[in-house]
Chains A and B, each alone.
Chain A
Amino acid sequence: MAILVEMPKLTDTMEEGVLRKWLVKEGDVVEPGKVIAEVETDKATMEMEAFDRGTILKLLVPEGTGVPPGGGIAILGKPGDDVTALLDRAGKKAEKAAPAKAAVSAAPVVAAAPARAPTGRIPASPLVRRLAREHGIDLQAVAGSGPGGRVIKRDVDPIIAGGGAALAVATITPLPVRPAAPLPPPSAGDVLVPLTPMRRTIARRLLESKQTIPHYYLEIEVDAEPLALFRSQANRDLGEGGAKLSVNDIVLKATAKALREVPQVNSSFREDGILRHGRVDVSMAVAIEDGLVTPVIRDADRKTLGQIAAEARDLALRAKDRKLRPEEMQNGTFSVSNLGMFGIERFAAVINPPEAAILAVGTIVPKPVLRGDLMVPGKTIVLTLSADHRVVDGATGARFLQVLKDLLEHPMRLVL
C-alpha cells in the first residue's frame, strides 16, 4: 500500500522546511536510510532520509517549496498503487497546516486565519494558556479550532504528545507586528527578498531578546600586546602543519576560563529561578551567506587551546556549508561574537536567549600606550559585554570582564 512521505520535524523550533533539492525522482526505488532530499530548516540544510522501502510514485512539492512538519512531500509505494486517497489527504494536510505556517510571517496571518479576530491577541482557553506556558508552545503558530479561532486543548494535544517543545520558542514570545492594512507593494527598483526560515528565526529570536531581556553594556580595553605576542609565538612554534591559533580562539578559551571563575555570568533566567549552568558551553557567532548561526564549543573550559582552535575551525567551515547538525547549535551557555576581522573596533551584541550575556570582540588596534612614564607604540583590543540585568548585576559583569582582561593580558595562564 502506498504511503505519504511527510516533512519531518528536523529541529525543535522548525515551523517549516524548504525542500531545497530532490535527490530522487519519480520511479526511483529507495531503501530505508537513503537520502532522498535536502531540506533547509531554520537552522541548517539537512539531509532527509527515507524511512521505508518502496518506489517513489510521486513527488508532491517542487524544489524551493516550504512545507510545515507533517505536510506530505512525496508518495512511496509499489508501481500501480492507487494514490488518489493519499493525494487528497496531502492536500487536506497542507490546508490544515497553512495557518500554522502563516503565523510566523507577519503579513499573511490575517488572511490565512480569517476566523481569528485581528487584534494581535490569540484567543485561547485558560487551560491552553497554561499548557503553552508549561510546554513552551508558541500559540502564534497554532491554528485554533474553537469559536472565533480560539485555541483549545485538542489543538495543542498533538504538539504536547509530539514532545512538547514542538512549536516552541522561549517562554515569552513577542508577537510579530501585525499590520492592520496589507503591506504596500515594493516600488519600482525595490526588491522584496523573501524571508528564509533562518531569517525568520533570527528575526523572532533577536526581537524576543531585545524586547524581553533588559540589556546593559560594559566595555573594557585590554592590552593586546601580550596576546599578539603569544599568538605569533605559538603559531611559529606550531610550524606549518598545525591548526593556527586565531585571536578569537584565545578569546574563546579565556572566556571559558573566566566563566568558570565568575559562574553567575554562565546562567539563564527562568520564571522559576536562575539556572546556573554546570557546563561551560560557549556559542560562537558565525556569519554565513544569508544569516548567522551559533555553533557551540562544549566544555570549552576543559579543552586546550589547540582543541578549541581545531573545533572552532571545523564548526565555522561546516556552518558556511550549512552542514551543522541542529544539536551542534543548541544549548550554549554564553556567546562570543567577533567582528575584529572587519576592522570593527567596538560594538555591542544582542544576547542570544536563553543565555544571560554575550561578549563582543573588536579588532586589535595599534595605538600609543603608556608604559611606566613613557608613551610607546602598543596594541589594544576592546571587549564589550552585553548582559541580562535580571541575572548579572553590573558589579558581577564588571568582575567577569576584569578576570577576562587579566587572562588575556597574561595568556600563559591559558595554557597552564
Chain B
Amino acid sequence: MVLLLAATKTRPVFWHFVPWLKVVWYLLAVASVAVFVYGVLRPIAKYRRGHGGPWPPCPWRELPGRLSTGARLLFSHATIDRRDRTAGWAHRAIFYGFIVLFAGTVILGFDTDFTEPVFGWSYFHGEFYLAYKEILNLLGTALVAGVLVMMARRAIARPAKLDYSRPDRAPGDPQYDRRVYRVGDWWFVTALLVIALTGFVLEGVRIAMDHPGYAGTQFGGWIVAQALGGASHATLAGLRHGLWWFHGLLAITFVASIPYTKAAHMLSSFASLSLRDPLAGKRLPSIRPDRAAEPAGYGALGDFSPLHLLQLDACTKCGKCHEACPANATGRPLSPRDVILELREQANHASAGIGGLLGGLLDGSAGGAGFTASVVGPNGVRAETVWSCMQCNACVEICPVGIEQAPIINQLRRRLVEEGELDSNLQSTLEVIHKSGNSFGENRRKRGRWTKELDFEVTDARKQPVDVLWFVGDYASFDPRSQRVTRSLARLFRAAGVDFGILYDAERNSGNDVRRVGEEGLFESLAEQNIAALRDCQFKRIVTSDPHSLNTLRNEYPDLGGSWAVMHHTALLLELIEAGRLEVADRLSYRVTYHDPCHLGRFQGEYDAPRSILERLGCTLIEMPRNRDNSFCCGAGGGRIWIADTPGQERPSENRIREAVGLPEVELFVVSCPKDVTMYEDAIKTSGNAEQIALRELTELVEEALVPSAALHPA
C-alpha cells in the first residue's frame, strides 16, 4: 500500500477512516457551507433595505464589465499596493497563497467527491499530483510569510493608520478605542497562520510515515518530517489523525466564518471595488425624480443606497483613508474610516435576526426600527464630524476597495441641510449665494468689474460669439488678490490672440462647493442658471480659472443637460505655450514647489500641465512629500471656506505651508486655484512664514516670463 501510493504519487484523502467518520466529516462540511451561504445572504438582505439607490446596484448587463475591472484590480493588487508597498506585498502573498490553497482543496474535492464517485475517474495522482503539491507548498509558504509580515506590522511596526482609536470620540469614551477590532484582526491572521501551519505539519507527519521518497519543494513538510524522524508509528498515526481533524475542522470553521469576520472582505471588498461609481466624489448623484418629494440625503440607514450599505461592509480598516484625510491630519473629529465603521456597526445592529433576513430577501422592505433611526447624533456619526469633511476626495481616491466615503458624507450633509443642522456662518453664506448668486454677497452686476483695470475690453460672450468662454468663478472675480491673477490671465489670453469672452452678470457661483456642502437644491438652481446662460452663448469650449468650477462643469453639468468641452486655464496656457502663441523665456530661476489643487489633481487627474509649464519657465520644482494624488487639501473644500475654524487648531493650509518651508531653499509656493490663493496667502502670514516663502499663482509666473515682457506692462 505504501509502495503503491509512492509509485502512483498520490495520497489518500481519508486515511484509515471508518465510514461513520466520513459521514460526520461530510455533515460538518455541508453545515459549514450552509453557515457560509447564510452569512452571505444575510448582508444581501440588509443591502436590499437601502432604498436610496437602485437594486441591484448596477444593471445586470454592466455586471460582466464591472466584475472584470474589479478582478483586474484585485489580481494586480494595484489599489492595495499604493503608499504601502510592504502591506501590498504581504497581502499579495496571503491573497495568492489563500486562493491557491483554497483552489487546491476544491480541485481535490472535485476529484474525491465528484469525478471519482460519479465517473470512476480520478486525476489526483502522477504528474498532476506532483505539480499540485509543488504549487501548494510554494504558495502555502508565501501565505505564512505574508501573515507573519501582517502580524509584525500589528505587533511591532504599529503604523498610525492601524490605530483604531476614533478621532471623533474623546479618550475614555466607551466608543473611543475599538479593542474588538484588534481582537478580530488577530483572530483572522492567527487562524490563517494556524491553518497553513497545521497543513505543513500534517504533510510532515505523512512524509515521516509514508516515506514517499521524493521531496521536491515540499520543504515545509519535509522539515517537519525530519523533526518527527524518531517518532514511533503509533505516535505518528495518532498525530496524523488528530492533525487531520484539527486542520480540517479549522478549515471548515474558517470557511463558515468568512462572512462573519474580517474575512468577509474577500467578498464585500471585491463587490465594492467592482460596483463602485467610477466618478465617485467627482460627480455627486442627483436626486432621483421618484424620490424628489422625500427628504434628501441619508438620515437613516433605509435612505442609503444598497451599494453604500455594501461598501460599509467592504472596509478592511486598512487606514489608508484615515492617513490621507486632511481633517484627521489636523486634529478635526473626523476619520473617513470611522464614519464607515460607525455606520457599519449601526447597520449590523439594525439587521440582526432571521426575520429581517427573510423579509429583506423577499421584498427588501422589512426595515426594522434600526433602519429608520437617525444615523447622525451624539452616539452615532456626530454632526461636527460630518461638517469637518473638506470633500477633497483623498479618501475615495486612496481606498483600495472602492468605498465612497466622501459621497456618503455628502449624503449625510444633504439631510442635515434639509433639517437645518448647519453652521450659522455656512447658513448665511448659502443664503447670500441664493440671493446674490455669489458667495461674496456682491451685486451680480459687479462680477465683471475686475476688467475695468485692464487697458482693453473683455468681450461679453452673451453679445458675440467667441472661441473660448471663460467661466471665471467667484473668487477669481471678486477676491482682490485673485483679481490680480485674473487680470494677468486676461492679458496672457490677449497676448496669445485667444478669442475669449466672459458671461459678466449672467455668471453664477458654479455650485460645486454648494453641492459638496449638501445644499442640493441650491446647486440645481445655480447650475440651471449657468447652463441657461451658457446655452445662450456661442463658443467652442469653456476654460475655468477655478478647478472647482472645472469639476462641476465637466462632470456634473452634463447630468443637468449642459455638456461642453471644459478645461482648466493651466491646460490652456500650456497649449498656447506649446503652440508658440505665448512665447516664454526659460529665464525664471526660482526654486519653487507646486501644490496640486484637489479639484485639479485628484478630481481631474491633471498633474502634468502645471509642472510642464513650470519647467518651461525655467523654474526648479522641488516636490513636497505629499504631492500629486496625495496632495493635501488647503482646507477650503466642501464649503469649509465658509465655516469658521475652531480657534487654536492648526489649519490644513498652515500644515501645508509647514511642509513647504521644510523643503530646502524653496522661494515660491505655486498654486493654480483661486481658493488656494486666498487660503495660502493667509496661511503664510498666520504661520509666520512670510519671510521664508511667497505665493504665486502659476499664471503670474507665466506672465513674468513672457517675451516680450513690455507688451503686457505698458509704461
State whether these chains interact.
no
